[in-house]
Each structure stands twice: as structure tokens, then as C-alpha cells.
Structure 1
Amino acid sequence: MPIDSPIRHSLQLNALRAFEASARLGGFARAAQELKLTPGAIAALVKNLEREYGAALFERYAKGVRLTPLGETLQAQFTEAFDAVEEAARTLRRLAAPRRVHIVTSPALAQLWLGPRLPRLTELLAPIEISVTAVDEPPNLKRSPFDLCLFYTQTLERGQRRLADEQLIPVCAPALAGQITTAADLVGVRCIADVVWNDWEVWTRAALPERKFVAGGPGFSLYSIAVQQALLGAGVLIGRRSLVQRYLDSGELVAPIDCSVPLGMNIAAWRLPVARGNRVVAAVEDALAQLA
């Protein structure tokens, strides 16, 4: 009589990943953001996991969740397991496409700093292939599928390479520049900004230290749209020089007030842990520094 080998228990990998992310990040909402799901979907996956094993992993409260003693016991083990899976997947990607480098950066840097340099970067590095992903924040180092980070930083940490020190300067279309001769003239014009950044505040604090000035005008969640509005003559943009320099060079934008102020941040590049010994990724980082 043949004896079948035991069937390995089918794991609910999505549910286990939802539990691990929620435990590590401290809640369903943050886990949903990382896993690109809704908080409701994360909650349902965790609930299904608890139902299958017959034990609660989280205590639910009106303002969030907290791990049960069982959940706390399991968290480190599951985090270590998923870190190992992610590392294996990165190794697979690297070995399957050894001449491909994946850069992760912010939307503004992707569109206005890296994008214009990509043709030259590709020319310098051929046959290396470069792909770019834009996200709001630097990724989790252990869970990232990327090779090279490119973001604004306030202070350089070990392994980070400064590419440019950022400066702030008001810019506008040439037709609007005639209305502005001093910083005080900005009171009477529309001031365009990125709603997430406090660049106008930083600039006016340095340029108009003795005058209370609050920039009035539209704000945009994408800096590229703010730049587009400035190009269309909709107002004066507080420009990050690294992002608007090509428009200043072409004359599409001008700086009516010759007053640059340090932002206190720089553009930096750094390799993710899995790529630190990779010569192909190092070549891309060197090329970025050259083009900066």
C-alpha cells in the first residue's frame, strides 16, 4: 500500500506579510502604505490569519491596534523570515539582470533633476540599463528592490555621497520679472510653492529678516506642476536651484532678485546594502556625481 508523503501546510503568505508589516510598523494604516493596500484589506488579512490559527495577534482599540503577547513573541521571527525572502529576491534580480540598475528617488528629483540627465547618463554607461521609480520617502533598506537611492538629506550619513548643495531663489517668467526689483515687491504678487516644503519660509527668514512676510498664492503637491505654473506666468516660484537651473539657462525663467539662500539640504546618492559591492551600481553613482 503506497504511503503519500505529508503535504506541506499551505501558508497564507499575504496574510502573514500583512501581520509582519503591521507588527513592525505599529499599525494597519502604515502596513497598508508599505504593501500598497487599504487599511481595511490589511485588517481583513490579519483577521483571517487569527481565525485560521484560533488566536488573537492584535488587540483592537478606537485609536489603533497593539500586539498581543503572542504577536510580540512572533514579530521578530517573521520579520527575520521576510527579510531573508526579500534578500533572496534581490539576489535573483541581480543575477538575472546583472547590467540593470534600479534608482529610487523623489518625484521632484525624478522629473526635474534625474530625468533631464538620463540621456547623457545612458550614453556614458551603455550597455548598463537604468530604471527609475519615484516615491515620497527613502525606502526600507531591508525591503527595497532598488539599488541606488537619490534623495534630499539634511546631514550626510555614512555611505551617502553629496551631489549638490541646494539653494533657494525666487524665479518667474520674464514677463512678470519687470514688476519685481526688490524682495519687498513680492508682497504684491502671487507666490507659488510646493505645499509640502516650507521653502518660502526658509528664504524669507534669511532674505527679509526684519519684515514679516507670508507668501500668498497657490500651492501644489507636485513640484513639477508648481514649476509649470511659473513657466506659464502664474506667479513667482520659490525655486530650488538644482531643479530649475535648466529653465534659468534657457531663459524660460529668470531670477528677478539676485538673492540665493541655502536650503540647508543637499541632494545625495547612496547604495542600498545589497548593492554596496556591486561595481555596476558604483559606476552609476560615479556617473551621477560627474553629471551633478
Structure 2
Amino acid sequence: MPVAPPRPNAPPLNALRAFEAAARLGGFAAAAEELGVTPGAVAAHVKALEDGLGAALFERHAKGVRLSALGHRVLPEFTEAFDRLGLAVQALRAEAAPGTVHIATLPAIAQLWLSPRLPALRAAAPAITISITAMEEPPDLKRAPFDLNLFYRPEGEGRVLAPDEIFPVCAPSLAARLARPEDLADVPCLTDSVWAEDWRIWAEAALPGAGFAPEGPVFSLYALAVEEAVNGAGVLMGHGALVARHLESGALVAPFGPRLRLGRDLSLWSARPHRPGSPAARVADWLARPGG
């Protein structure tokens, strides 16, 4: 009679993923946000994993959790394993749906830089489907299912599409009231909540020692702030790449300088090299072409 010894049960993949994310990110709440579940679900997965192992992976405290000695020792291998799994899944998706290119980008870049280029891109490559996901922070491309990442990054990182420089912009009708930076005290200044420091950074260069503070409405969407600037609602701190088309059309003007570099670029990058001639490589080349 053949012997069939009992096999030890392997830990569930979801539990291992919950442990790795919580250990790498420093807590259950951050892991839950990355994994798209609740912190309670992450905690339950980790507890079940610990119960199955008979050993603690985290030490619980009133202010949160921290890795146990065992958790510290095994984390690097799990992180490497899930990174490799994520890249393998990306390769599988690329082979299974080779005509679709997934792009992650900031909402403002999606609306003001990328969207106006899509009609020409579709005309140049009609067989390629472009999928765009707008998010406030770059995803971990080793884990997330995106082929291309389009965000502002420190200078020299990724494939540079445009430098990030800021300067005041407004409708031509409002520009007639502005002769010098000091005149900004007499008009509404529009502020984007994400880039709220733009005015301070620019004013330190243009109005040193003046203690200038913008007064005017604050917007949670930069594209909406741009539209309001076009409507004549006030002066906006423009990001060169995002307002370039409005400047070219005359809908916005730059009444005065300086144009200030922020030490970062609008950059395109990916987690793995794309095969030359593949849809992702073609889209990246098209977006990076001069005048694109």
C-alpha cells in the first residue's frame, strides 16, 4: 500500500502578501492602502500567518506595530520575491494583451499634457490602445500593472520630456494690470492645494524680502485652476509644460518673470526595459519626440 504522508500546508499567498506589504511600509494601514483592502483585513491575514507559523512577525504596541527579529530576517527575501512576481505578471499581461499600453500619471499631467496629445498618438498608432490612470503619487512599478510612469521626478531620473519651471500666468485682460511682480498684491492669486508652495518659492526669487503671500481661491485640481486663470479669475503659478498650449494659443500670457526651475523634470520611466518596437516602446518614443 503506497505511503501518502501528510503534507504541511503552505501559508496562503494573500497572508504572505499582507505581511510583506506591512513590513515594508511600516504598518497595517499603509499596507491596506497599497493592497486595496482594510487595515483589519491586513491584521487578520498577518495574525493567521503568525498562528500558522507559531511565531510572531510583528510586535504590537499602543502606537502601532514593528517588525520582530524574525520579521526583519525574512523580509528581504519576500520583498524580492514579490518584486519578481510583479514583474512576471507585467510580462504576462504584455504578452497576453500586447496592443494595450497602461500609463500612470498625475491628474494635472493627464488632463493638461497627455490628453491633448492622444488624438495625434491614436492617428500615428491606431492599433495601440492607451489606458490612463490618474493618481497623486507614482505607483511601485514592480508591483503595479502599468507599462509607463509619467510624473515629475528629480532632475535626470527617467526619460526627460520637459523641465519643470514655474512662473505667473493669467488671461491677457488681467495682464494689462500687471507691470511688475509687486502688482500681484492687487489681484487675486490662484493656488493649487498640492503645489501650494509654488508661490512662496517663486516669490523668494522674484520678491526677496517682501514677505509676499498670495490671496485668492485655492483649488484641489490644477486643471481647474488653469481654466479659472483662462477665465480671468486671477493669476496662477504656471508649470511650463502644463500651460504651454495655453500660452501658444494666447489664452494665457506670462506678464513677467522670472521663470524658476524647480530641480525636477517631467519624466517617463518603466520598471523594465521594453522590447524595441513593442507598443509600450513605441508610445514612449512618440511621447518623447521633439515637439511631441
Shift of 1:107: 1.4
Give the structure 1 partner of residue 112 of structure 2. Answer: 112
Give the structure 2 partner of residue 253 of structure 1. Answer: 252
Give the structure 1 partner of residue 206 of structure 2. Answer: 207
| Cα distance between partner residues in 2 of 1:255 and 1:222 | 21
C-alpha RMSD of matched pairs (Å): 2.5
Shift of 1:8: 7.8
Q: Provide the TM-score with structure 1 as the length reference.
A: 0.88
Q: 1:65 to 1:256 in 2, by over 3 A?
A: same
Give the structure 2 partner of residue 192 of structure 1. Answer: 190
Shift of 1:138: 2.3
What one-letter code is carried by the residue in structure 2 that aligns with 1:73? R
Give the structure 2 partner of residue 224 of structure 1. Answer: 223
| Cα distance between partner residues in 1 of 2:228 and 2:52 | 54
Q: Does the Cα contact within 8 Å between 2:15 and 2:45 map onto a contact in 1?
A: yes
| Cα distance between partner residues in 2 of 1:67 and 1:83 | 20
Shift of 1:36: 2.2
Q: 1:176 to 1:80 in 2, by over 3 A?
A: same
Shift of 1:191: 1.2
| Cα distance between partner residues in 2 of 1:55 and 1:203 | 54
Show the 5 A alignment for 1:20-59.
20-59=20-59
Q: Provide the TM-score with structure 2 as the length reference.
A: 0.88
What one-letter code is carried by the residue in structure 2 that aligns with 1:272? A
1:162 to 156, 160, 163: 160
Aligned length: 289
Q: 1:77 to 1:153 in 2, by over 3 A?
A: closer
Shift of 1:109: 0.8
| Cα distance between partner residues in 1 of 2:217 and 2:28 | 33
Where in structure 2 are there 5+ consecutive unaligned residues? none
Give the structure 2 partner of residue 68 of structure 1. Answer: 68
| Cα distance between partner residues in 1 of 2:243 and 2:235 | 13
| Cα distance between partner residues in 1 of 2:46 and 2:187 | 52
Task: State, as a whole percentage, how many aligned pairs show the same letter.
Answer: 53
Give the structure 1 partner of residue 12 of structure 2. Answer: 12
Shift of 1:206: 1.9
Q: Does the Cα contact within 8 Å between 1:173 and 1:233 map onto a contact in 2?
A: yes
Q: 1:29 to 1:250 in 2, by over 3 A?
A: same
Give the structure 2 partner of residue 176 of structure 1. Answer: 174
Q: Does the Cα contact within 8 Å between 1:207 and 1:261 map onto a contact in 2?
A: no
